[in-house]
Structure 1
Amino acid sequence: MPISISQQDARKLVLQSQQLPASKQAGGTTDATLSAIEHLGYIQIDTISAVQRAHHHTLWNRNPRYQTTHLDKLVANKQVFEYWSHAAAYLPMQDFRFSLPRKQAIASGEQGHWYTPDKHLMKSVRKRIETGGPLMAKDFEHKGEKLGEWRSKPAKKALECLYMQGDLMISSRQNFHKVYDLSERVLPKGVNTTPPNQEEYARFLIFSFLRANGLGQATEIAYLRKNTKPLITNTLKDMAASNELLQINVGGNHYYALAESMKLLNKPLARSKLAILSPFDNLLIQRKRMQMLFDFDYLIECYVPEEKRQYGYFSLPVLWDGKLQARMDCKVDRKSSHLRIQHLALDASLKKIDAFTHALYKQLPAFMLFNHCTQLSLHKSTPQNLPPMPINLTGI
C-alpha cells in the first residue's frame, strides 16, 4: 500500500536529499566537493557566465568552502570525469561503467548524435591524438567555412563524435576549452569498464535518482535518457513488489522512494537559512517536477526575447523556509567587481517579507565573495517597498 505524506514533508524529503541548504561539513574542502558530486550523481556544465557558471554555483550551494579549482583538481586526480547525464556534466569516476550504454548506442548508430559522423575524419583525428597527445579543437587548422547550425569546424565535430561514442575523454580544460585525449589514457587504473546489463543499468539510474532526489517517478528518472522509460517503469514495479522501494502518495501524485531516505524526515530542515540557486541546479532542472512538488513555475528567460521577459535574463531561484520563494536576476560586472541585482521578484505567496529579506541580506555577502565582488546594487524589486538593504552590504 502506498504511504501518503504531505506536500510539506515531500519538499523536506527532496531538500534533505538534495543537501539543501548546506550543512556544516568536516574534512577537506576538495573531499567535500567530491562527496557532493558522488551523492548527487552529476553536476551540469553550462557556459552562461552572468554569475559564476552553473557547475561551480551548484557545488558552492552544497559545499560553502567550495573553490572553483576543485573540479580541475578532481579531473586531474581521475576522481571525476566529463560526459553526458541528461546534459553535459561532471560525473563521479566510480560510476564510469554506467556511462557506457549511451556511448555504445551512439557508436553503433542506435542513438543519434547532433553531428553526422565523418568516419574518415574521425579516424584521422583519433590517430593524431594517439600519436601526438592531448589536443583541443583549435589545434586542428581549418581555413574553410565553418559548417552546420553551430558553425563548427569539421575537426571539432569529429572530436565530439569520438568523445560521445567513448573513444576520447576530456583530460582537462584550458580557459574552459576542452582538451581531448584517448579514453584509455584518461581512465585511472582499476576502474570498472564492464558495460552493465539492462537490469543493472535500470537499478543504477533508479537508486542514483532516488538517493539524490528523495522521491521520483519513472518519467523523472528517465528524463532525457532515450529509450529507458519502459525499462525503468518495469524495474520500479519489480522493486516495489519485492519491497526494495516504497510507494509514496503526495496529493494524488504517485512516487517511489528508498526506505532509508524516509529517515531524513526526522532531521530538522534549516528553514531560516537561505540559498541562492543556479537555474541549472540539480533541484530545479526538471521544471514540471518543481511545479508539482513546490508550486514553483520557473522558466529561465535568457532564451526568451527581451521584451517578453517577466523576471530577467538570468533569474536565480531563491530557496527559503523550505520553499522556492523568489527570483533574483543577477549580473556580475567583473571589471568593477560589482554584483548587480537587476530584479528581485518575491512570489505573491510570500508573506514573511521581513524575515525573508533578513535571510537574503545575510546570505548576500557570501554570494558576493563567491562571485569575487566587492560592490552590490539592487536596481528593481517586486514589490517595491522592501526593507532597505544594510549599507555594509556594499562592500566586504
Structure 2
Amino acid sequence: MATLRLDREEARRIAVRAQLLDAQRPDGLLETVRHLTLLQIDPTAAVAPSADLIAWSRLGPAYRPEQLRQGLEQDRTLWECNAMVRPMDDLRLYRADMSAVPRSDKAREWLRANETFRRDVLDRLGSSGPLLSRDIPDTSVVAWPSTGWTNNRNVTKLLEILLLRGEVAVTGRRGKQRVWDLAERVYPADQAEAPPEAEARWLRAERRLRSLGIQRANAPGSPAEPGEVGEAGQEAVVEGIPGTWRVDPAAVGQPFGGRTVLLSPFDRLVHDRVRLQELFGFEYVLEMYKPKGQRRWGYFALPILHGDALVGKLDAVADRKAGTFTVHAVHEDVPFTPAVAEAVHQEIQELAAWQQLRVVR
C-alpha cells in the first residue's frame, strides 16, 4: 500500500477521534471499553478515580461509576487484570499469553518451589472463595525475594501470578481491595476459541492501532499494555515530523467536530509523552511524584483538550467529604479566547456536578 501523507492537523484529529474524544460521543460504557480496549485503574483519586474519569470524558454525565462495577461484578462484560479493565470479549486474545506465564526465570523458579502453596491457595478459593488476599493463609515454602514493596508479600504475589496465568480472577472489590476467586467461576465458559499466540498478538495490535488512530510501529508501552503496533494499518508520514507512522486507514479523511474535554493524566491520548509532543506540541509531566515546590502545574493536573488541540492544564482537587471541587489554577499553554475560556469553565462545572460537588475557586 502507498505511504499516506498527513498534515499535523489531520494526524491530531485522527488521534482525537480514535480515542472517542470528538463531538460524537459513544453510546455506552461497554461500547467505549470495547473500542478503547482498556480503562486503566489507578488508586489516585485527587479528582476522580482514573477509570471513572476516562469513562466520563467520553460519555459525559450519562456515565455513573456503578456501571463499571456492574460490568465487572454482575454482567461480566468486563474483566480486570494487571490494573486494566478490558472487555470480556478480548479475554480470548490473552489466553495464549497466559499459558506462558510466568516468563521470568526468577518467577518460574519461585512458583516451582511453591507448588504446594499454589495448590493450597486454589483449594482455599475453591472451598471458601471469593476471598480477600488477607483471608488466605501464607503456606509458602520460599518467600518472594524483593527489595521493594512486594518483599515477603507471598499471597499477593502468588495471586497476581495466578491471575496472569488465568487460574484465578478478580471477581470484585471491597473498597480498593481486590476480591479473588477461581477463574472458572468468573470468566464465561462459552468464550470463542482462543487464537494461537502470534495471531492473538496481531489482533491486539490491530485493535490497539484502531483505538489510537495513529502510532509509531515500535512505540514504547508498559508491562501491562505494549505500545507497538508493528505492521498493522498503513504506513504514513506526518508533515514536519521525522520518521514513519502506522495509521488506521479507516480513520483517514473522516469529518471532525471537536469539543472541550478534561483528561485524566493516564488518558491514552496523552500517555505517550513523545507522541504527545510530536503530534500536539504539548509538554506534560505528572507531577504528583515531585516535591510541591518543584511543581509547575499541580499535583494531578488534567490536560485540557479543545477541538484537536491541547491548550492547557487544570489544577484542581475534589474533596468529597466537604462537597467541594477546588480549582487552584487553569494553566493556559496558549492564551484562551473568550470562547475557549467559557468552554473550559463549562467543562469544570460539569465535572464537579457529575460528582455532586460545588466549584470553589
Q: Give the alignment's TM-score, normalised by structure 1.
A: 0.81
Whole-angstrom CA distance in 2 between matches of 1:256 and 1:79:
30
Tell me by how many angstroms 1:100 deviates.
2.4
Listed as ranges, the gaps of 5+ residues in structure 1 are: 27-31, 240-244, 379-396
- Seen in structure 2, the aligned counterparts of structure 1 residues 225 and 146 have a Cα distance that, compared at 3 Å, is closer
Counterpart CA distance in 1 for 2:305 and 2:32 is 19
Check if 1:351 corresponds to 2:341: no
Q: How many equivalent pairs are there?
A: 348
1:277 aligned residue? 263
- TM-score w.r.t. the length of structure 2 is 0.88
Partner of 1:104: 99
One-letter amino acid of the counterpart of residue 281, structure 2: D
Conserved? CA contact 1:246–1:258, under 8 Å: yes
The aligned counterpart of 2:79 is: 81
Post-superposition Cα deviations, 1:135-160, rounded to whole Å, max 9, x if no partner, equal 11122367xx9985226643222222
Aligned twin of 1:57: 53
Deviations 1:110-144 (A, max 9, x none): 476699544332221111001112111122367xx
| SS of equivalent to 1:299 | coil
Q: 1:120 aligns with which of 116, 122, 140?
A: 116
Task: Indicate yes or no: 2:352 matched with 1:368.
Answer: yes
Equivalent-residue separation in structure 2 for 1:83 and 1:110 (angstroms): 19
Once the two structures are TM-superposed, the CA of residue 196 in structure 1 deviates from its matched residue by 2.4
Aligned twin of 2:7: 6
- Quote the residue 2:215 is aligned against: 216
State how far apart, in whole Å, the 2-side matches of 1:259 and 1:361 are. Answer: 35
Deviation of 1:359 after TM superposition, in Å, equals 0.7
Q: 1: CA distance between counterparts of 2:194 and 2:16?
A: 34
Structure 2 counterpart of 1:302, from 265, 269, 288: 288
Residues 210 and 119 of structure 1: CA distance in aligned 2, closer, same or farther (over 3 Å): same
Deviation track 1:40-98 (CA, whole Å, cap 9, x = no partner) reads 111101100111100000011111111000111111211110114xxx21001111022
> Aligned letter for 1:267?
P
* Counterpart check, 1:203 vs 2:193: no
Instruction: Name the counterpart of 2:278.
Output: 292
- Offset at residue 189 of structure 1 (A): 3.0
Shift of 1:192: 2.7
Q: Does 1:69 align with 2:55?
A: no
In the alignment, structure 1 residue 328 sits paired with structure 2 residue 317 = no
Query: Residues 21 and 61 of structure 1 are in contact (CA less than 8 Å); yes or no, is this contact kept in structure 2?
Result: no
* C-alpha RMSD of matched pairs (Å): 2.7
Distance in 2 between the 1:248 and 1:195 partners?
29
Percent of aligned pairs sharing the same letter: 24
Q: Distance in 1 between matches of 2:63 and 2:305?
A: 19
Shift of residue 370 of structure 1? Answer: 2.2
- Higher mean Cα deviation, 363-372 or 146-155? 146-155
